[in-house]
Chains A and B, each alone.
Chain A
Amino acid sequence: MLELHGQIEEAVGVIRSRWESQPRAGIILGTGLGSLVEQIEVEASFDYGEIPHFPQSTAISHAGRLLCGTLEGLPVVAMEGRMHMYEGYPLKQITLPVRVMKALGADLLVVSNACGGLNPDYQCGDIMVIDDQINLMGDNPLIGVNDDRLGPRFPDMCEPYDRRLVERALEVAGREGITAHKGVYVAVAGPNLETRAEYRFLRTIGADVVGMSTVPEVLVAVHSGMRSVGFSIITDMCLPDELTPADVSEIIAVANEAEPRLRTLVLGVLAGEQAG
């Protein structure tokens, strides 16, 4: 991990050459949930290829830009296009943008994803505010010689998601009449969707939803001393005994349908940051 410090400095140097504000939050949005960034008043934008040590944009299926600006008046930096472990990126590279957000001054990470629902009380299209996580990706972005300048060797994970922000998100949901659960996200490597037996296993170990992202970024946010708030859109239900083949276009349609509600929750959480 000792190489990261220099990489972060170089990336920050490029961003700072064109953008001087201090972001209050860093935002990473998942599959089909990216249109929130359209509401950002962009002051500077960087293709990932322009930022040293970011993954090259040619390898990314969608946009691949870092947007710097304000969202409802709050300075933010947002990733348009996210990297996944199943695409072959090392976790240290996937999570480098989080460290760059922190180095720019953000102390809050807002992250969202599309996921499969395991908890039978959930419904397709529901939103879950992430309360806790299980890492079953088989890897960890913090493996390697620790750089004490970036964070502790053994980060404590008793509260990976900031409790006050979880409560705030649920309050906003209640006020706006949005169905929002609070639950446990388990991350697996993918890229295949899980078998029925795997869904049963993941439910048995205590997970409410399953996905292939988010956990690495939040591990690094905790390591960096950032607070995190995470949202999962349940884009398909994964009940082992009622499983039908997943339809990607349907998943994206569900994500798009849920997006306005997700946006309300994210903006509600950020509004609290503004007041505080």
Chain B
Amino acid sequence: MDGQLIDEAVDLVRSRWASTPLVGIILGTGLGGLVEDIEVEEIFEFDELPGFVPATALGHRGRLVCGRLDGKPLVALDGRLHHYEGHDAGQITLGVHLFDRLGAGGLIVSNASGGVNPELTAGDLLVMESHINLMFLQVGDPSSSNQERAGRMLADPYHPAWIETALGVALERGFRATAGTYVAMTGPNYETRAEYQMVRRIGGDVVGMSTVPEVIVASRLGMKVLGLSAVTNVADPEATDGTTAGEVIEVARSLQPAMRAIVAAIVTGEAQADSSQ
């Protein structure tokens, strides 16, 4: 991670947007529609933000949106970078550093995943309570100059109260939602049947190709984390039909109302906590 680039990016954002965001959001596959609910105050395309490179993945754009949701300030990365696109951990997690430097105390990250827990069906929401890192990606310690932060434990990166909030809001709205473990692999190919079975045997509920590097950095920076995973397909070891990227995006979109409500509830909660302090 290039400290100078992040300084320049922070300066640029601050030159045009003065609020302190309560949370930063990374919008994953098919979930970019959340942006429509944000009262946009400022937009930065990735190619004008120092250090950011344009996203190449299907269903992803590439801009930083600054604005408000129900009147509460937040920032959102519309479009994310993946390891499978050839980006290193520094590039992938740059947005999280930016969130942190802008003052966001929490990260909300979304993704699309394949369900391996037989109780999951396509269209379910999995609220991440843990993850297994099979990406073989080195995520440098973002805060090696800060002994206090460097010593933080990563034992529980996902904020328990936010998990409860997310599950409650989703169920209230009639969505199927459960807490579980996300396994990150490199991709970009979808997993083989044998790989799905492996993921299940080691304790995974879903498998995807993102999120874990960002969560590791956010956690080490002391941010609260919420991970929302749209289960866009389920791995049936006996199934012969394949997975297509188009289907994945379509199913992910069906979960947008749940995601929106969860983000709104979290942001409202954070705003209340802020004002009561």
Q: Report A's interface with B, CB cutoff 8 A.
A: 132-136, 138-140, 142-146, 152-160, 184, 186, 204-207, 219, 222-223
Contact = CB atoms under 8 A, between A and B. Distances in A.
A142 B84 contact: yes
B189 A154 contact: yes
B240 interface: yes
B201 A133 contact: no
Interface string B160-196: 0000000000000000000000000111111111110
Contacts of B248: 154
Nearest to A156: B242
B198 interface: yes
Contact of A134 (B84, B198, B242, B243): B198
B57 interface: yes
Contact of A140 (B84, B192, B243, B244): B84
Given A153-B57, A154-B245, A158-B241, A143 B191 contact: no
A146 B193 CA distance: 23
Contacts of A219: 189
Given A143-B188, A206-B201, A207-B194, 11 more contacts: A132-B194, A135-B186, A140-B84, A142-B188, A143-B186, A145-B56, A158-B243, A159-B242, A205-B201, A205-B202, A206-B198
Given A145-B85, A153-B58, A204-B201, A158 B193 contact: yes
A87 B34 CA distance: 46
Nearest to A204: B201
B192 A144 contact: no
22 contacts: A133-B192, A135-B195, A140-B187, A142-B84, A142-B188, A143-B86, A145-B85, A146-B56, A154-B187, A155-B189, A155-B190, A158-B193, A158-B241, A184-B194, A205-B197, A205-B201, A206-B194, A206-B197, A206-B201, A207-B194, A222-B189, A223-B189
